[in-house]
Structure 1
Amino acid sequence: MLRNSKKEFIYELKPVPRLLKEVNWREEDRRIVNKHVRYLKELQGADYLVLAGETQGAKENTFRIVIIKAFTEEEALNIMNNDPAVKEEIMTASFYPYKTIVKGF
């Protein structure tokens, strides 16, 4: 890997327990999720986002993943910590260095 090339990182997002039940969602929570999606699109436009997605099905086990490329771990952590879902505390985040082994498409 070239010294100045970007490395991959992944962060996993899980909704806070209150949001595991649809009845507990407030308009503010929906607004934050919309900001989160816009943020991901901004990362895509700036060539940081590799992919983002969420599990389907059982709410109690749901999570989202965001795979990004950044020059340093510090930069990647900054991206994660500035995600509106994390910053506004409707989702908890776990961070990992990551490396794609096999790529499809």
Structure 2
Amino acid sequence: MKQILFFICIIASTHSFAQDSTKIKPKQWLGILTLAPKFQDDKNWTKADEAVVGEHFKRLVQMNKEGVVLLAGRTQLETNDPDMMGLVIFYAKDEKEATDFMMNDPAVKNKIMLAKVLPYGIAVGACK
């Protein structure tokens, strides 16, 4: 009887420590967007460029609704300020998926913005 009880305890403890891969959240990533040098001068923007950035914004809004993007925004600086940048905190399962997410942004694909992707972890805040 003791052996059966011991065996049940081993199985129960193994099961409780095993990770359920369906419940593991994807990792958090930080996307940093900067304007390509050409677009740091307001005179170089066309209506078509502005439309592409509109698509960029719509995509971020949609990805936020879908739970992929936690937050996105930009520094409130002039386009020619070297510190002007946009930030996107989002979920992806690995570096490839994170890089693909940022490189498929319409503004990046159209060479209006340059993207950098870094692993990230929110330490304080109410993000998911």
Question: Structure 1-normalised TM-score?
Answer: 0.89
Give the corresponding residue for 2:48: 28
Give the corresponding residue for 2:75: 55
Higher strand share: 1
More contact order relative to length (CA 8 Å, sep ≥ 6): 1
- The CA distance in 1 between the partners of 2:33 and 2:65, in whole Å, is 21
Task: Please state if 1:67 is matched with 2:89.
Answer: yes
Say if 1:6 and 1:20 are closer, same or farther in 2 by CA, change over 3 A: same
Q: Count residues with an aligned counterpart.
A: 105
- The one-letter amino acid of 1:76's match is A
Percent of aligned positions that are identical: 31
User: RMSD across aligned C-alpha pairs, in angstroms?
Assistant: 1.8
Task: Please state if 1:14 is matched with 2:34.
Answer: yes
Shift, 1:49, TM fit: 0.4
- The CA distance in 2 between the partners of 1:40 and 1:84, in whole Å, is 10
What SS class does the counterpart of residue 108 from structure 2 fall into? helix
- The CA distance in 2 between the partners of 1:76 and 1:12, in whole Å, is 12
Q: Which moved more, 1:57-66 or 1:24-33?
A: 57-66
Give the corresponding residue for 2:102: 80
Task: Please state if 1:93 is matched with 2:115.
Answer: yes
Instruction: Name structure 2 gaps, 5 residues minimum.
Output: 1-18
Instruction: Name structure 1 gaps, 5 residues minimum.
Output: none
Aligned residue runs from structure 1 range 37-56, under 5 A: 37-56=57-76
Q: Structure 1 stretches (4+) deviating beyond 4 angstroms?
A: none
Shift, 1:104, TM fit: 5.2
